[in-house]
């Protein structure tokens, strides 16, 4: 198999046909043996039926249906596990990723890269969201050890060894943006115009984006824990200085008026910082807990047609 395209689909019934038509224009041009893996991530609409219809019309379309909604990261990894291609492309089902870019990505990959990444600009997005994203990436790149780039998502083409590298990472808290960066290899980037979704609604609400942002920071290192040590040291030093000052004042001038302001400020301030870092510790603990269970990342309910080779089990 020359080229596999993995498409995570969650409630995308109105987009699959359009996606197929768009892919039809580009895939036969860049490859003479390709497959498209539609991963149905436990959709509650007619996505699965639609996917089966496409695969009956064209045997190059394979359907992988997960037993429930596992989330996009899991759907992606399910697709990658079942992909047989020497090159593997990843694309969203909602046509926000222009499929015709594969025509540029394939030759670039062949010229010696292991990852060709499509980077979207942020035209047409609200000014606040662009600003928040910009600040976030600036902060995150200080904190994490892998370089994360704004506008770079899952839309990309990978070589077989890059895919194998991704699959060799067994963690279940997967922040794929970071994993893609972590595996390294030579990476080429091309840009495209930001587009709006063809049909349906985005599955990523603001709280989900916030959680995604926190994942980005804690997935790749333990610097937030280190930060809590530094902050603790600073506060302890300040507290000692202040204690010395209070003792000296009491010895020199006797007991003064009790300081309400000082007490309330220190109680609230230190309490807040305590809670914050308790949360940080809890976050890591929670991750250790979920990793230690070693559950599979996804469960397959059905796949058509049966892949010839059994996908490797998780070790
Ligand atoms: N998706 C998925 N499982 C989910 C959520 C999303 O497979 O639980 C898929 C979705 O069908 C789409 C892609 O992931 O193909 C990106 O989702 P969406 O368009 O909602 O995200 P956005 O473009 O708004 O970031
Ligand atoms: Mg989208």
In the predicted model, what is the mean pLDDT of residues 286-309? 79
What pLDDT band is residue 305 in, cutting at 50, 70 and 90? low
Q: How far apart are the CA of 202 and the centre of ligand 1, in A?
A: 7
Starting at the edge strand found earlier in the chain, the sheet holding 300-304 runs: 187-192, 115-120, 152-159, 87-90, 3-9, 34-40, 61-66, 300-304
Tokens 């697709």 belong to residue: 79
- In 69-205, alpha helices (H): 72-82, 102-110, 127-143, 160-167, 176-183
What pLDDT sits at residue 312?
52
In the predicted model, what is the mean pLDDT of residues 218-235? 79
CA distance linking residue 147 with residue 142, whole number of Å: 9
Q: How far apart are the CA of 299 and the centre of ligand 2, in A?
A: 24
Q: Which residues contact 117 (CB under 8 A, 6 or more apart)?
A: 152, 155, 156, 180, 187, 188, 189, 190
pTM: 0.78
CA distance linking residue 26 with residue 100, whole number of Å: 6
Binding pocket residue ranges, ligand 1, CB within 6 Å: 8-10, 12, 41, 69, 71-72, 75, 92-94, 96, 197, 202-204
Distances (CA, A) of 201 to 14, 117, 154, 182, 287: 11, 24, 18, 31, 30
Say whether 276 sits in a helix, a strand or coil: helix
What pLDDT sits at residue 53?
92
pLDDT tens for each residue of 86-103: 999 999 998 888 898 999
Q: How far apart are the CA of 264 and the centre of ligand 2, in A?
A: 47
Nearest CA to ligand 1 atom 19: 202
Tokens 């498409």 belong to residue: 7
Most confident by average pLDDT, 160-164, 200-204, 303-307: 160-164
What pLDDT sits at residue 111?
92
From 90-104, 143-157, 211-225, the region with the lowest mean pLDDT: 211-225
- Ligand 1 pocket test: pick from 92, 151, 192, 196 the residue with the most ligand atoms within 8 Å of its Cβ: 92
Comparing C-alpha atoms, which of 113, 241, 132, 83 is closest to residue 187? 113
CA distance linking residue 138 with residue 167, whole number of Å: 29
Helices and strands (H, E) in the chain, number of each type = 10, 8
Q: Which ligand is nearest to the CA of 16?
A: 1
Nearest CA to ligand 1 atom 5: 72
Nearest CA to ligand 1 atom 23: 202
Q: Is the pLDDT of residue 84 over 70?
A: yes
- What is the percent of the chain where pLDDT is above 90? 28
Q: How far apart are the CA of 197 and the centre of ligand 1, in A?
A: 10
- Ligand 1 pocket test: pick from 47, 94, 120, 155 the residue with the most ligand atoms within 8 Å of its Cβ: 94
What pLDDT sits at residue 315?
47
Q: How far apart are the CA of 200 and the centre of ligand 2, in A?
A: 9
Q: Which ligand is nearest to the CA of 42?
A: 1
Mean pLDDT of the chain, nearest integer: 84
Q: How far apart are the CA of 82 and the centre of ligand 1, in A?
A: 19
């Amino acid at each position: 198999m020359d080229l596999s395209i993995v498409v995570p689909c969650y409630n995308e019934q109105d987009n699959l046909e359009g996606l197929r038509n768009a892919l039809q224009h580009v895939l036969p041009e860049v490859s003479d043996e390709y497959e498209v893996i539609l991963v149905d991530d436990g959709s509650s609409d007619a996505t699965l039926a639609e996917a089966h219809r496409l695969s009956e019309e064209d045997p190059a379309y394979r359907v992988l249906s997960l037993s429930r909604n596992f989330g996009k990261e899991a759907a992606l990894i399910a697709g990658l596990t079942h992909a047989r291609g020497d090159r593997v492309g990843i694309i969203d089902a909602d046509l926000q990723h222009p499929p015709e870019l594969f025509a540029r990505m394939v030759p670039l990959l062949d010229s010696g890269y292991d990852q060709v990444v499509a980077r979207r600009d942020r035209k047409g997005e609200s000014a606040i969201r662009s600003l928040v994203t910009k600040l976030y990436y600036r902060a995150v790149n200080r904190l994490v050890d892998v370089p994360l780039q704004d506008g770079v998502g899952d839309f990309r083409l990978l070589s077989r060894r890059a895919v194998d590298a991704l699959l060799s990472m067994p963690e279940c808290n997967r922040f794929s943006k970071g994993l893609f960066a972590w595996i390294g290899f030579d990476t080429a980037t091309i840009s495209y115009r930001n587009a709006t979704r063809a049909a349906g609604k985005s599955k990523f609400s603001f709280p989900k984006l916030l959680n995604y942002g926190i994942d980005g920071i804690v997935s790749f290192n333990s610097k937030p824990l280190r930060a809590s040590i530094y902050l603790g040291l600073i506060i302890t030093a300040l507290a000692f200085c202040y204690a010395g000052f209070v003792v000296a004042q009491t010895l020199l001038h006797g007991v003064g008026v009790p300081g309400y302001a000082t007490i309330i400020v220190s109680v609230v301030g230190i309490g807040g910082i305590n809670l914050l870092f308790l949360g940080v510790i809890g976050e890591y603990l929670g991750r250790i807990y979920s990793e230690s269970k070693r559950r599979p990342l996804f469960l397959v309910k059905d796949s058509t047609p049966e892949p010839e080779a059994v996908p490797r089990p998780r070790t």
